[in-house]
Amino acid sequence: MAAGLTVVVDYGLCNIDSMVRALEECGATNVERTRDPRILERADRIVLPGVGNFAAGMRNLQSMGLCSAIRERAENNVPFLGACLGMQLMAQTGTEGGNGAAVEGLGLVSGDVVRLERQVEHERIPHIGWNEVAQTKECLLFRDIAQSADFYFVHSYRIRLRDSEEEAGQTLYCGAFSSAIALLNRPVFGTQFHPEKSQKNGFRLLRNFLAV
């Protein structure tokens, strides 16, 4: 069982309930969903899930006063996991919903969020469904998960990392994109896929995060 307070950030765009239930099923004994930055100050780990667009997500996080609280906790070695849009919001900038202009992100990782580009005719955007994640470096998130295991995706944008060493997983779709990230110097992670919807592999990943 994972002790301590696991906080799921509710910024008004995402399917919070499925992530909360998944974390509880994976052994988190104290899960709280919140829009209150004061709750983040006492979190033992933080999860930022996401469904929606980048600009709206950042606008909501800013209006709720959550941006500085997330940055402060992540920079002070509180385990952090961003999932789908939550991972994209970790970037420095994103173009989705910005009417052609770059929108400032949380800046937890070095990179920008850009639209997927079809490389062959049969590739569909948005990218929806199961796809393999090739592990590109050793990462705690993937402990006891097979190389090239399947996870569930729903997205039209991807993160373009400036530092390839921050990539932990890659998926061969629309060329190739970073589907998991892990910082080198602190326990900050991201997944472009939805671990809470990825059945056995996703739940194994969440258990690994709860054990950090």
- Which residue among 14, 26, 84, 174 is the active-site one? 84
- Which residue among 96, 166, 167, 196 is the active-site one? 196
- Which residue among 127, 139, 167, 194 is the active-site one? 194
In 3D, which of 84, 171, 176, 175 has the Cα closest to residue 130? 171
The question of whether 84 is a catalytic residue gets the answer yes
The question of whether 196 is a catalytic residue gets the answer yes
The question of whether 174 is a catalytic residue gets the answer no
Q: What is the set of active-site residues?
A: 84, 194, 196
